[in-house]
Amino acid sequence: MSSKTPLLLAGAALFTLLAGCGSHETQSSPAAASSAPSGAVSSSGRCNSDAVQDLVGKALSPALAEEGRQRAGAQVVRVVRPQDPMTMDFNSQRLTITTSASLVVQTATCG
């Protein structure tokens, strides 16, 4: 075994670990994420959750999530069900809708 072999193995192991840490977004349901067409953001460029508080208590559907996104002026909508993992990063252009297990809207917030 040459003296370079352990170094190559360590480098390969490090590369494999870092590759597993790459970020990627997945959708758990059709309503999980929706991108707005260009120009659909509110004039301030920020989400306004006050405009969608009437969604609370309604059964969530893809159409309702998209309507909420548009009314809030958000670029994207994120739907979070119980036990779903959720990042804690703040995005002022994202509407986050949390639901019950039966997909009844519990909260509609920006971020």
Place of tokens 């003296």: 3
pLDDT at site 100? 98
**What average pLDDT score do residues 53-69 get?**
98
What's the angle, vertex CA 87, arms to CA 84 and CA 100, rounded to 5? Answer: 30
Phi, psi (deg, nearest 5) at residue 57: 95, -10
pLDDT at site 36? 39
Could you tell me the pLDDT band of residue 61, with boundaries at 50, 70 and 90?
A: very high
Cα separation, 74 vs 93, whole angstroms: 5
Tens digit of each residue's pLDDT (9 = 90 or more) over 68-97: 999 999 999 999 999 999 999 999 999 999
Contact status, residue 31 vs residue 77, Cβ threshold 8 Å: yes
CATH class of 27-110: alpha beta
